[in-house]
């Protein structure tokens, strides 16, 4: 059995970073000034191995945070989320290539998409979209 978390985190990080969107693992720094950024949460997984293979079902959460000084314009957030979704799953059969890490992603789905209007903090109005992806991993 091998650890699946690092290769999955790396795949999501690289896909988002390639878009030029600031991305952080775990939590954002205290001094972040970007008006839109992504936080990748930890991977949660279940072992669904068989007698002949190591298999995992796992979830990962992306939180896309956006703020404006006076008004929250959700169109900027929604455009950014659209770019992220396109980068992660450009077509119905798309999965990340994890072969360099000895794994194969066999399925990738957007399980949940939640919008949260978080209110005002320091004259900034915050809105967040939470995307939860589920994927199946087969150890090659």
Q: pLDDT tens digits, residue range 45-68?
A: 998 988 888 999 999 999 999 987
Arithmetic mean of pLDDT over the chain: 91
HSE-CB for 76 with a 13 A CA cutoff = 15
| Domains held by the chain: number | 1
pLDDT at 71: 67
| Terminal-to-terminal C-alpha distance of the chain | 10
Q: Between 97 and 67, name the one with better pLDDT.
A: 97
> Whole-angstrom Cα distance, residue 34 to residue 106?
34
Q: Which CA distances in Å does 34 have to 22, 31, 53?
A: 8, 9, 43
Q: Which domain holds residue 46?
A: 5-139
42: domain CATH number is 3.30.2000.30
């Amino acid at each position: 059995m091998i650890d699946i978390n690092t290769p999955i985190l790396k795949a999501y990080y690289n896909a988002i970073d390639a878009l030029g969107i600031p991305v952080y693992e775990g939590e954002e720094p205290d001094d972040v000034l970007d008006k839109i950024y992504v936080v990748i949460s930890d991977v949660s997984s279940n072992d669904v191995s068989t007698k002949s293979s190591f298999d995992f079902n796992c979830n990962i959460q992306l939180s896309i945070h956006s703020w404006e000084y006076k008004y929250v314009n959700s169109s900027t957030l929604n455009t950014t989320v659209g770019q992220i979704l396109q980068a992660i799953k450009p077509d119905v059969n798309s999965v990340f290539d994890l072969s360099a890490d000895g794994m194969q992603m066999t399925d990738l789905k957007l399980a949940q998409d939640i919008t949260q209007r978080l209110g005002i903090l320091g004259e900034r109005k915050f809105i967040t979209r939470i995307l939860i992806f589920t994927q199946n991993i087969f150890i090659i």
